């Protein structure tokens, strides 16, 4: 019994050691750029600033957030047939290297196109909707959309079409990997979703 317990403790310590090493190993940005160039560039552009409204801009995104999303695409927790296919071929090291390389790229500012929607979107983003207990987006994503590293993603300049689609997926229960966002989006109507998304596109 003592021998079994000792072996279990040793195995646990080895696992913790490998985990700690993975967290402290410096990311290989050159390797990340290479993997991105092979697997991601067609949809997200050479520097992570996608020009296709349906595909998100990834440049300057928090690496911890990107790693989480890639892992959840791979596990199936976040459903997307295309991204799950790409993520399934990535190791943890690949994900980390790609994420940190993207974080090192400069985000290109976006632009809003509908002034009326922007005004409504700004009110919701900065103040929420009190009578329906919808929290202000700025509380988690910061007033300028920079987000909070390791917790909440950068939104500033993101394509309005992509943001609106994600909010609808949260609302409809299609995207299930963030309970807080599901709760927020469930209370929003289509116009409010479009307004917030339009405001975020021009936020900087």
Tell me what pLDDT residue 22 has. 46
Task: State the chain's mean pLDDT as an integer.
Answer: 91
Pick the last residue of a domain from 103, 134, 153. 103
Please check the confidence at residue 7 and state whether its pLDDT lies above 60.
no
pLDDT category, 150, cuts 50, 70, 90? confident
One domain for residues 45 and 81: yes
Instruction: Summarize pLDDT for 71-103 with one digit per residue, the tens.
Output: 999 999 999 999 999 999 999 999 999 999 999
- Do 96 and 119 share a structural domain? no
Cα separation, 169 vs 173, in Å, equals 6
DSSP SS3 for 129: strand
- Rounded to whole angstroms, the Cα distance separating 104 from 120 reads 33
- Position of tokens 């929290």? 135
- Find the mean pLDDT for residues 25-29: 94
Q: Residue with structure tokens 């989006």?
A: 185
Q: How many residues does the chain have?
A: 204
For residue 112, count other CB atoms closer than 10 A to its CB.
18
Decide: helix, strand or coil at residue 53: coil
Answer with the one of 83, 103, 123 that is the final residue of a domain.
103
For residue 152, the enclosing domain spans: 115-202
Q: Is the pLDDT of residue 10 over 80?
A: no
| The pLDDT of residue 24 | 63
Whole-model pTM over 0.85: yes
Structure token pair of residue 56: 């998100």
Shared-domain flag, residues 81 and 36: yes
The domain tally of the chain equals 2
CATH number of the domain within which 176 lies: 1.10.760.10
């Amino acid at each position: 019994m003592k021998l079994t317990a000792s072996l279990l403790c040793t195995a646990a310590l080895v696992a913790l050691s490998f985990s700690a090493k993975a967290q402290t190993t410096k990311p290989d940005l050159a390797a990340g750029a290479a993997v991105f160039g092979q697997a991601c560039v067609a949809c997200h552009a050479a520097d992570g600033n996608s020009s296709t409204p349906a595909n998100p801009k990834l440049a300057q995104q928090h690496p911890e957030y990107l790693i989480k999303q890639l892992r959840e695409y791979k596990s199936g927790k976040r459903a997307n047939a295309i991204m799950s296919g790409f993520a399934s071929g990535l190791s943890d090291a690949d994900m980390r290297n790609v994420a940190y390389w993207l974080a090192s790229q400069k985000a290109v500012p976006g632009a809003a196109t509908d002034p009326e929607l922007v005004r409504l979107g700004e009110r919701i983003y900065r103040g929420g909707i009190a009578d329906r207990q919808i929290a202000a987006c700025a509380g988690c994503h910061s007033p300028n959309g920079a987000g909070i590293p390791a917790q909440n993603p950068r939104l500033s300049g993101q394509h309005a079409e992509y943001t609106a689609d994600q909010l609808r997926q949260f609302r409809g229960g299609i995207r299930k990997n963030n309970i807080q966002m599901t709760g927020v989006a469930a209370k929003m109507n289509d116009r409010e979703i479009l307004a917030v998304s339009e405001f975020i596109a021009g936020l900087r």
